[in-house]
Amino acid sequence: MIRKMLAAAALGAAALSAAPAASAEPGPLYFDEPGRYETDVPGMNYDAHLTAPCTNMDRFTFGRGPGGQALQCRWIPNQWPPVYTGFWQISYELFGVREIGSRCPKPQSAAQAPDGRPLVCLGPQGWQAGKYNGVGFTPM
């Protein structure tokens, strides 16, 4: 019985030692770099990272994170300890530069006005300057 176990262990060790060793370089955490998209807006920040601090909370608020995720710089109310910066948060799908009041493709989508203000699609009202927060839509 012991001979059979030793023989099986030796056979397994021989099989493992004969297998080729894979020596690959470790890859980056995000394999793709944020590129340019046709819906990108002027003033876009391509170095944004989710939950990282940011300061452009009023105009030109959009950025792209690793992997191309659309992000928006927003103030988080009631945060403690108080800080005086915003943070990058996930944005609705971005639709480029649009005029205020023009028709939008679908609700819960984002765009930027020519003057840099963020726009939100409000259905029949079209694109409106402002942002959603915990209490609803806040016009800008």
* pLDDT score at 103: 94
In a domain, 100, yes or no: yes
* pLDDT score at 17: 64
What sign results for the dihedral spanned by CA atoms 132, 135, 136, 140? negative
* pLDDT score at 41: 92
In a domain, 17, yes or no: no
* pLDDT score at 25: 55
140 residues of the chain, pLDDT tens digit each: 677 766 667 666 666 566 555 444 555 555 555 578 888 999 999 989 998 999 888 899 999 988 888 999 988 877 776 778 889 999 999 999 999 999 999 888 999 999 999 999 988 999 999 877 666 666 77
Helix, strand counts (H, E) of the chain? 1, 9
* pLDDT score at 7: 67
What's phi and psi for 131, nearest 5 deg? -150, 155
In a domain, 30, yes or no: no
E strand or H helix at 62, and its extent? strand 62-64
E strand or H helix at 10, and its extent? helix 2-18
In a domain, 26, yes or no: no
Contact 122, 106 (CB under 8 A): no
In a domain, 91, yes or no: yes
In a domain, 9, yes or no: no
**Angstrom distance (rounded) from CA 21 to CA 7:** 24
- What total of structural domains would you count in the chain? 1
Reduced to 3 states (helix: H, G, I; strand: E, B; else coil), residue 38 is coil
**Angstrom distance (rounded) from CA 51 to CA 49:** 6
E strand or H helix at 54, and its extent? strand 53-54
State the residue range of the domain holding 88: 42-139
In a domain, 37, yes or no: no
In a domain, 22, yes or no: no
* pLDDT score at 75: 83
For 131, other C-beta atoms within 10 Å of its C-beta total: 22
